[in-house]
A and B are shown apart, each in its own frame.
Chain A
């Protein structure tokens, strides 16, 4: 199973590379999982390519999450889990976001399902998504100050 997906990973990343040489900044393979690190500027374009290209056909956006690597810069990693239902394949797109400009392009125009997933990241990590039509806090009360899932936000006690 893992060998198969590794072979496919090569195909997927090569396809993206032939479309745009700069789109694959890094290719990570770990325990049969494939992560393609995409430059922030090319995130939406790569996402559209992954969805629209009939050979890739990643039609379902399963999940968006963020990892805070504080104090390493760029500290935020956004992970997008894509699924191709017809081709039975999973892939992860990753882009890095700095603490100075915690902004990324919204993927709502590509997959409307990104709506709540991005709102959750915005709510808990304080990363803004350009082009999101309804970027409000989703889990926390509106008057809440801070982004609790950042590593420098204490689990207990006063901030």
Chain B
């Protein structure tokens, strides 16, 4: 939050403050726009209104306690945040979750990706003036949140993915529930596309807006759909597979136009690919099987065992009072969140609390590209560009 000395002095331009309460900034983003009439001469994004010091709080918690904090960063992708943190800690510990848990993880984060893109599509359509799309998007998102509630007991802040596996066995009847959703979803995506893709107003508002060449996007560290809409095939699921993604058959949607419309098309295509991945994951998840790695002293024991085995009871007590201590070292894990490369850096000094936890939030890094995207365009295009960068301020400010 800083005052900005832009060229207020020149007689032609004026400075307009957009946000932090502006509805189309998707939270509390503030953008200072220097305008020449309706054209943007320059812009300065101002962030930090939602800064809660999550990284500092992490240093005062045990490794397992941090998981609940990660949910609250990117609140449209809590499972992805859980996953990246758990992958980093598992790397530190040298732990590998059982295959069944890995497939459950993949299924959950892909459902999460669909729900996140649905929120994006709905809110972005509202920004562009298409009110009704949002109602349809949130209708389908509700189905996904119902699935999460059955799996984790929570709709949004699930904390379902834990170190070494997942929290709970899939609930009874989960297969029918997920199947019903993936069977329904492709037709629903067709419905959104029927409303938007060929819509002349939609195309008019998005085509050619917010263009940046691929080289500049890479130089600005942009990742995710924004980069793939510029034709760069960079997707962590394919490039650096994690959680058994190498066993799944899916395509990475690419476009070359690198404008807001291309980003829209990439996200819609990604939803279709995610449906494909969820289907494959469902086939891979067996009815019975372990959901947590075998690691006494790190993974809490089964409730039943605690009543019959003394060691299990001791481990349970130790884990929940003291925590566990990974060996000293650092680990960096990266996953493909709906917004781009979500990274987590964990440093351990051999104590039960992390020395440092850092999150590389894709929204934070991608937002850097905004001033370059909107330069020379109209104020209305700023709204379109902010929308298609797809920021979540909880993650930008952490």
Contact = CB atoms under 8 A, between A and B. Distances in A.
Nearest to A112: B219
B83 to A, nearest CB: 17
B57 to A, nearest CB: 7
Interface string A104-122: 0000000111111100100
Interface residues of B, number: 45
Interface in B45-86: 47-48, 51, 53, 55-57, 59-60
Contacts of A68: 356
B3 A63 contact: no
A140 to B, nearest CB: 6
A124 B1 CA distance: 14
Interface stretch (A10-18, A29-37, A40-48, A95-103): A29-37
Interface SS, B side: mixed
Interface in B352-398: 355-356, 358, 360, 364-365, 367-368, 397-398
19 contacts: A33-B330, A33-B332, A62-B223, A63-B343, A63-B365, A65-B345, A65-B356, A67-B355, A81-B360, A85-B232, A85-B234, A88-B239, A90-B332, A111-B221, A113-B221, A113-B222, A117-B365, A141-B1, A155-B57
B131 interface: no
Contacts of B56: 148-149, 153, 155
A31 B343 CA distance: 16
Interface in A19-77: 30-31, 33, 35, 59-63, 65-69
Contact of B3 (A35, A61, A138, A142): A142
A60 B218 contact: yes
Contacts of B239: 85, 88
Interface of A: 30-31, 33, 35, 59-63, 65-69, 79, 81, 85, 88, 90, 92, 111-117, 120, 124, 136-142, 148-149, 151, 153, 155
Contacts of A62: 221, 223, 334, 341, 343, 360
A93 to B, nearest CB: 12
Nearest to B53: A148
Contact of B2 (A35, A115, A136): A136
Contacts of B364: 116, 120
Given A81-B332, A85-B234, 13 more contacts: A31-B91, A59-B218, A65-B356, A85-B218, A88-B240, A114-B221, A116-B367, A116-B368, A141-B1, A141-B48, A148-B56, A149-B56, A155-B57
B220 A112 contact: yes
Nearest to A60: B218
B51 A140 contact: yes
Contacts of A88: 239-240
Nearest to B1: A141
A149 B55 contact: yes
B331 interface: yes
Nearest to B344: A63
B238 to A, nearest CB: 9
Contacts of A153: 56
A59 B349 CA distance: 31
B221 A61 contact: yes
A50 to B, nearest CB: 14
Given A30-B330, A35-B330, A81-B332, A139 B47 contact: yes
A56 to B, nearest CB: 15
A113 B331 contact: no
A149 B60 CA distance: 12
Contacts of A142: 1-3
Given A60-B221, A137-B2, A30 B368 contact: no
B85 to A, nearest CB: 14
Given A62-B221, A155-B59, A31 B94 contact: yes
Given A31-B94, A92-B332, A139-B47, A67 B356 contact: yes
Contact of B358 (A61, A65, A114): A65
A88 B220 CA distance: 19
A116 B364 CA distance: 8
A138 B47 contact: yes
B48 A140 contact: yes
A81 B92 CA distance: 17
Contacts of A141: 1, 48
Contacts of A92: 332
B206 interface: no
